[in-house]
Amino acid sequence: MSERITTPFGFETTALEVVEGVDLSGRRAVVTGGASGIGVETVRALAAAGAEVTIAARNAEAGRKVAAELSAATGNDRIFVAPLELTSQDSVQEFVRSWDGPLHLLINNAGVMATPLTRTPEGWELQFATNHFGHFALTLGLFGALRAEGARVVNVSSAAHLSSPVVFDDIHFERREYDRWQAYGQSKTANVLFGVEAGKRWAGEGITMNALMPGGILTALQRHITREDLEERRRLRGAAGKPMQLKTPEQGAATTLVLAVSPLVEGRSGLYFEDCEEALPHADGMPNGLAVYAHDQEAAAQLWQVSEETLKIGEPA
């Protein structure tokens, strides 16, 4: 077993501090959800380090506004925008078809949280469809671009993965009562398992994939959550032994950047990071950590198979 990875960074580190002294000139990145929340700060840090960055956003107009602001702030005019609706396979495939050339960094950052029960036209539960299926299809679609240069894929997960494993016999809540936190939790577990299986399948392709918990950050991600919901989550965290501490978006993006640029994770896949270092295994009384089921090899393989069958896509050539 490899030694646990720690870094000089921590809870209060910002994304810009992580990339200080890092030169990403000639590197190309895609950030899904790059027009809001920690996505903006992820784009800012990558652009500040010299990368060409494409913001993949549902709202292209909002994306263009952010791109203009960040170009002015960083002096990098290579920040582009492309429309992407993760719940629409047509939109995902259009993004894939429009991509030309190599891709060095794919940051699967976009997501929805704790939504009321909503189904896509296919009947898929919205959170799983957005947070996992959309990014699965996007990543496999971009496989050739990622393999061309060797690349890192970073999946933004959450400590909420501790709420639920992937419930394979009823992923879409067709038979069990819908619970929005369990639905969110299993989608975040899927983000981690995706990297576990990709690490096995793509070990010889020069592509690595890892996941992270950004921390508690107040952004548009919480638009479906009331103040009472947030206070309840904070209370439960306190009961687990550690009250929830909030981060700024700049701090929340830092762990993403560690996985994207740090030489300490070179060649490593299937990891899960918190506060800029590899997370410890979860244990009773811990509010964070990595659940056993989120790095289970059998579950990871099953998720990949289910995802391919559901989306009707095969292993990329």
pLDDT of residue 216: 87
pLDDT band at residue 224 using 50, 70 and 90 as cut-offs: very low
Report pTM. Answer: 0.93
Let me know if 184 is a catalytic residue: yes
Bridge-partner residues for 108, per DSSP? Answer: 155
pLDDT attached to residue 230: 55
How confident is the model at residue 114, as a pLDDT? 93
For residue 60, pLDDT over 50 is answered with yes
Rounded Cα gap, residues 268 and 207, in angstroms? 9
Catalytic residue, chosen from 178, 184, 272, 293, is 184
Percentage of the chain with pLDDT > 70? Answer: 91
99-115 pLDDT, tens digit each: 999 999 999 999 999 99
Give the residue among 32, 30, 144, 28 at the shortest CA–CA distance from 84: 32
Please write down the long-range contacts of 287-291, taking CB distance under 8 Å and 24 or more positions apart.
287/159, 287/237, 287/240, 287/241, 287/242, 287/244, 288/159, 288/162, 288/213, 288/242, 289/162, 290/192, 291/161, 291/162, 291/165, 291/189
Q: Does the pLDDT value for residue 295 go beyond 80?
A: yes
On the question of pLDDT at 74 being above 50, the answer is yes
pLDDT at 252 over 60: yes
Report pLDDT digits (tens) over 135-194: 999 999 999 999 988 899 999 999 999 999 999 999 999 999 999 999 999 999 999 999
pLDDT reading at 86 higher than 70: yes
Using DSSP, state whether 190 is helix, strand or coil. Answer: helix
pLDDT of residue 314: 82
Q: Check whether 210 has a pLDDT greater than 90.
A: yes
More confident residue, 55 or 230: 55
pLDDT band at 285 (very low <50, low <70, confident <90, very high): confident
pLDDT of amino acid 221: 46
| Model pLDDT, residue 222 | 45
Q: What percent of the chain has pLDDT over 90?
A: 86
Residue 239 clears pLDDT 60, i.e. is over it: no
Mean pLDDT for all residues in the chain: 93
Rounded to whole angstroms, the Cα distance separating 317 from 300 reads 20
Q: Which of 130, 117, 52 is nearest to 91 (CA)?
A: 130
The amino acid at residue 49 is A
DSSP 201-249: HTTTTTEEEEEEE--EE-SGGGTT--HHHHHHHHHHHHHTTS---EE-H
**Of the ranges 44-53, 146-155, 281-290, which is most confident?**
44-53
Phi-psi group of 3: left, alpha or beta (phi > 0 → left; psi -120 to 50 → alpha; rest → beta): beta
Mean pLDDT confidence for 70-95 = 98
- Whether 241 shows a pLDDT value over 60: the answer reads no
Supply the pLDDT for residue 240. Answer: 46
